[in-house]
Amino acid sequence: MATDYDAPRRDEVDLGEDSLEELKARRVDSQSGSVDVDETEVAENFELPGGDLSDEELTVKVLPMQSDEFRCSRCFLVHHRSQLAAERNGELICRECA
Residue 1 reports pLDDT greater than 90: no
- Residue 97: other Cβ atoms inside 10 A: 16
Q: Is the model more confident about 34 or about 71?
A: 71
Which amino acid belongs to residue 83?
Answer: Q
pLDDT of residue 85: 95
pLDDT at residue number 7: 75
**Model confidence at 83: pLDDT above 90:** yes
* β-strand partners of 79: 70
Per-residue pLDDT at 68 exceeds 70? yes
Q: Residue 60 — pLDDT band, cuts 50, 70, 90?
A: confident
Predicted pLDDT at 18:
62
Decide if pLDDT at 12 tops 70: no
**Neighbour count for residue 83 (Cβ, 10 Å):** 18
Comparing 41 with 94, which gets the higher pLDDT? 94
Round to whole Å and give the CA distance between 98 and 84. 9
The pLDDT of residue 6 is above 70? yes
Element (H, E) at 21: helix 20-30
Alpha carbons within 13 A on the beta-carbon side of 56: 7
